[in-house]
Chains A and B, each alone.
Chain A
Amino acid sequence: MDEALLIHRLQFGFTITFHYLFPQLTMGLAPLIVVLKTLALLRRDERCNEAARFWARIFGINFTLGVVTGIPMEFQIGTNWSQFARQTGGVIGQPLVMEGVFSFFLESAFLGLFVFGEGRLSKWGHWWTAVAMFAGSWLSGFFIIVTDAWMQHPVAYTRLPDGGFDVASFWGLLFNPWAWIQYAHNMCGALITGAFVMAATGAYYLLDRSFDAHARIFLQVGVVAGFVASIAQIFPTGDLHGRYMARHQPVTTAAMEGLFKSEAGAPIVILGQPDAEHQRIDNPIVVNRALSFLIYGTTTAEVKGLNEFPRENWPTNIPLLYFAYHIMAGLGTLFVLVMAGATWLLWRGRLFESRWMLWIIMLAVPFPYIANTAGWMTAELGRQPWLVYGLMRTAVGSSPHVNAANGLFTLLGFMGLYAVLAMLFLFLIQHELARGPAVATA
């Protein structure tokens, strides 16, 4: 790979990985804030309103960082991937603009109203601003997924004489099946992050013996939402996504699973390191026939291995893809266990006294972020070596006149700037945690 291309890829990968740490929380928190506002109205409990305000402050910090790190994402398509932009604008330019006009205006307008307007609106009026925020943030996720889904599974396009793409059917683009499956899977992932963060904050306050009443609300909402979302993450959404991928990107599935040779009754690898040179898994722990069953519903079906596909179509970095996928799937399984245990204790009325469980919930907070990041790495590394799957290779998409030195200059700049943002973020979150939910702020 030539040096400039590697730097373009590193810069996009770095900036989007950092960016997505924030939207996954805002998309996950938005429906939970609606739940809190609803509870406040139903129970006539002011503490739920205080809880909603607290989470709106956390939402606000994350939203700001999501916005400021998000603008570079849209613009980098032009700055670093100009040949790709030139050819695809007519197709995926559409969902990207739609994100702006349909969701960002909604989200920014109603976040402003939610935060600044509580005194000026009725109780139900304020509830509606929370719903609008929720709708805005989830719509935004949808349009981004439509964009990515078209790159993963291009549909509803025609080719122009100059090689560019034109959209053939607008509805075909929006109703790309890949997009809907991926959207469901991704939003469950965001909800898991939101639920774990809320539950972990509640666990921290209980362990710290501060803000006891609010902490219980956080745990109730977070644990129940986390339980539902972590189950839905595996079944049906993860299951559907995996089977759809096996059908449309079989070479990616083979690389993700570390299946070097085709096999009838293929096993699933739980642990082990892929050795691309000798085409085998080192230190394997496998479940026999499980992969065939998961993909095709029978234990004897043949699953195609990497050997069936020409090498130039193999994903560029197979070990990283394999690990990203296994980290995602392994953590996803742990989330179900943790949240099922917590839900059971909550149902039995013992969660708030089970300090060991509160410790587990609190310490689990980084893992949803890791799992979401690993999931996106699986999707995007799995798409390689293509920008538009099967149609346009990554190597021909970057900007022809932006050389490696200029790319490195901006990559280093982004790394420095984002390191500062990360420190400010952690400081501010710590500040808000210390301030807690009971402080009255309008």
Chain B
Amino acid sequence: METIWFLLVAVMLAVYLVLDGFDIGAGILHLVIARTDAERRLVLKTIGPVWDGNEVWLIAAGGTLYFAFPLLYASGFSGFYLSLTIVLWLLVLRGIGIEFRTHVDSDVWGGLFDGLFACSSVLLAVFYGAALANVLRGVPLQADHFFFEPLWTNWRPGPQPGILDWYTVVGGATALVALTIHGAAYVALKTSGPVNQRARRVAVMLWPALLAATAFSLIATIAVRPRLLDNFIAHPSALVIPIVVACALIGILVFLRRGDARLAFISSALFLAAMLAGAATAQYPVLLPATVDPRLDLTVYNAAAGSHALRVGLVWWTGGMVLAVVYTVFVYRMFRGKVDQRLPEAS
């Protein structure tokens, strides 16, 4: 039962990463690929009807974590207190950056919210990458299952690390590049004209950086926490995940070159999902490793909620997710195709 919930939370986070990932990516590129007011409105219109629904996956995943693994939720969220609160502020600023821009027709107003949208998107990507890296590296869990991590200590992943050290910064940089390319592929898919061309050009240009970051973060992860290889050694069939990562990585470049934005976007979505799947596979059954003593690790067994709660939860969760997927598919179908620049603005 605990393992099922581990899988479900991982799937929800992957869906969140793929969906909100592209609108964060669009935000990172916003100032670069869209120069004029009309172009910026165009970029916003590609994500306008969907970004909010994408973010609901974060709320739902967070809630599921609280419900299925209360101890992990409690320990992780209070331990990452400072970075999590900053992430919340960034989500606030980014939300209003997207939604409030179109209400007022003014260069100053537009410029302010374009800037907010772009900066908060960049920082969110970095923080998400760093967060995942923290979870892989481990945190200084104490005997009471709680901990508190400062933003940084000596920038080294030792027994008393900070949220930011060289390893988690590498994770942040990798996420930044990956989400930028993901967003570029999405914008290319939804637009035509100069914005489309610039998006594709940026993605192709950044591809070598993604390759380097992926390879380097893989090596760094193994160096920082060799235990993460155990599951792959015990179950060699899991090696299919890194193969998928590699294929998706190549697919991104090949399809971008060919000008097939749809397959490039699917490749980058697959890349993100496979990276997360790889991390989850390496971690299992550990949820949050302890840097000081592996006996203090939070695992799916010691952090799970009561058994009855997990059983009844599975029933409504399944029904609810079917509905959620139906709405999501419905909205994306309604707004399928390229965004038309001539359509009147809605706010």
Contact = CB atoms under 8 A, between A and B. Distances in A.
Interface of A: 57, 60-61, 64-65, 67-69, 71-72, 74-75, 77-80, 82-91, 93-94, 96-102, 104-106, 108-113, 115-117, 120, 158, 160, 164-168, 170, 399-403, 406, 409-410, 413-414, 417, 421, 424, 428, 431-432, 441-442
Contacts of A64: 95-96, 99-100
B103 A421 contact: no
Contacts of A102: 320, 323
B60 A60 contact: no
Interface string B67-111: 111110111111111101100110111011001100110000000
Contacts of B316: 94, 98, 170
Contacts of A104: 56, 59-60
Interface stretch (B29-37, B213-221, B273-281, B301-309): B301-309
A87 B70 contact: yes
Contacts of B67: 89-90, 93-94, 96-97
Contacts of B73: 78, 85-86, 89, 93
Given A71-B55, A105-B324, 14 more contacts: A61-B100, A67-B55, A74-B63, A75-B77, A79-B77, A79-B78, A79-B84, A82-B75, A82-B146, A90-B306, A93-B68, A401-B142, A428-B104, A442-B344
Contacts of B234: none
Interface residues of B, number: 73
Contact of B95 (A68, A88, A120, A432): A68
Given A68-B92, A98-B316, A167 B308 contact: yes
A378 to B, nearest CB: 27
Contacts of B93: 417
Nearest to A91: B309
A184 to B, nearest CB: 23
Nearest to B92: A68
B147 interface: yes
Chain B contact residues: over half helix, strand or loop, or mixed?
helix
B70 A88 contact: yes
Contacts of B327: 105-106, 109-110
Contact of A89 (B55, B66, B89): B66
Nearest to A77: B66
Interface string B39-68: 000000000111011011011101110111
A410 B48 CA distance: 30
Interface in B300-347: 305-310, 312-313, 316-317, 320-321, 323-324, 327-328, 330-331, 334-335, 343-347
A96 B316 CA distance: 13
B71 A428 contact: no
Nearest to A132: B327
Contacts of B48: 112, 116
A30 to B, nearest CB: 16
Contacts of B75: 82, 86
A90 B323 CA distance: 23
A85 B85 contact: no
A166 B144 contact: no
B148 interface: yes
A97 B60 contact: yes
Interface string B134-157: 000000001011111000000000
